[in-house]
């Protein structure tokens, strides 16, 4: 399971109820901040999640509404908060802008308050833990080098305790070995193979997060079948030409992408203050029924569909 906490869901400029783009993905003890719009540090505090373990930031691209909050966040870390280290990942062009912001504006010759690494990434695997990975993938948005991120649990074969009981396998290390895929020998000399106590392979939960995007053509296969897709809905179809001009999606186009890629749930964000939430849903849901519009501080738990 992955958990998403939305910290900012507005497009380009904040509104009364929506801050600029930012969200946190939680998985076990890991927490990843995706984008950091202006005011994100206050949203972190107001959400109650705090700064603990929030030491990796994934940037979708380098436009200011997605990175300006880094200045305040680093400034706060210099004065009040302390974390062991901070790693900011993104395209080279995005990190060049972040470097100017942090070292040219915030630090101005001072040392960072913690070990700080700006890590350029390209499409491919960028992180691996024991039970999940993160892959970056290319996104087309108005000439900017942009990335999306695919969070994917590693698949597994479930342990079937009823079969273990029938075979007389005691609780403890022998069962753990079988779960790990290793054969074991019982006290009576019998050899038990993993296939005797493990069920069919089950893929893990998959979550795709896309920032701003103008042409989603290349995304269909990347996100196919994900359990949840987070993507922008900056415009409605009545302003489709403006959407194309500025390299953004309409609610309908995002819904069409979700339908084409056969995703399970569509979560729309990056919402313009010119539209009402019900109008966005009215455009998207007839195309893809399982659509919601995220609000600031909404929390979603993303789980794999039952077989």
Residues acting as catalytic residues: 65
- Supply the DSSP symbol for 215: B
Show the tokens assigned to 285: 């849901």
Task: Please indicate if the annotation marks 63 as binding a ligand.
Answer: yes
Task: Please indicate if the annotation marks 270 as binding a ligand.
Answer: yes
Task: Please indicate if the annotation marks 135 as binding a ligand.
Answer: no
Among candidate residues 299, 274, 284, 306, the one with its CA nearest the CA of residue 15: 274
Among candidate residues 251, 203, 249, 205, the one with its CA nearest the CA of residue 226: 205
Give strand pairing partners of 292.
Answer: 267
Radius of gyration of the chain (CA): 22
Helix (H) or strand (E) holding 7: strand 2-8
Please provide the distance, in angstroms rounded to a whole number, between the alpha carbons at the two ends of the chain. 15
Cα distances (Å, whole numbers) of residue 219 to 77, 254, 260, 271, 304: 36, 11, 10, 20, 20
User: How far is it, in rounded angstroms, from Cα 243 to Cα 213?
Assistant: 10
Which segments are annotated as binding site for Zn(2+)? 61, 63, 65-66, 141, 212, 270
């Amino acid at each position: 399971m992955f958990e998403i906490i939305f910290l900012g869901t507005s497009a380009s400029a904040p509104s009364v109820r929506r801050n600029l783009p930012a969200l946190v993905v939680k998985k076990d003890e890991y927490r990843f901040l995706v984008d950091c719009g202006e005011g994100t540090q206050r949203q972190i505090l107001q959400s109650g999640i705090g700064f603990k373990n929030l030491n990796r930031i994934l940037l979708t691209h380098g436009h200011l509404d997605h990175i300006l909050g880094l200045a305040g966040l680093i400034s706060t870390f210099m004065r009040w908060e302390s974390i062991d280290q901070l790693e900011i990942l993104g395209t080279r062009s995005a990190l060049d802008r972040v470097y100017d912001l942090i070292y040219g504006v915030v630090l101005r010759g001072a040392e960072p308050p913690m070990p700080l690494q700006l890590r350029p990434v390209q499409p491919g695997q960028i992180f691996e833990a024991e039970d999940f990975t993160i892959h970056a993938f290319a996104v087309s948005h108005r000439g900017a080098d942009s990335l999306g991120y695919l969070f994917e649990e590693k698949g597994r074969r479930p342990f079937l305790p009823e079969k273990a009981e029938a075979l007389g396998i005691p609780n403890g290390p022998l069962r753990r070995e079988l779960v790990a895929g290793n054969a074991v020998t019982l006290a009576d000399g019998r050899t038990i193979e993993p296939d005797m106590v493990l069920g069919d392979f089950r893929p893990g939960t998959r979550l795709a997060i896309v920032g701003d995007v103008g042409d989603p053509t290349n995304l269909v296969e990347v996100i196919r079948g994900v359990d949840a897709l987070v993507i922008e809905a900056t415009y409605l179809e009545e302003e489709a030409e403006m959407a194309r001009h500025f390299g953004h999606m309409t609610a309908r186009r995002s819904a069409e992408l979700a339908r084409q890629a056969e995703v399970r749930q569509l979560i729309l964000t990056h919402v313009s203050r010119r539209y009402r939430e019900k109008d966005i849903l009215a455009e998207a849901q007839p195309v893809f029924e399982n659509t919601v519009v995220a609000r600031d501080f909404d929390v979603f738990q993303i789980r794999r569909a039952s077989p």
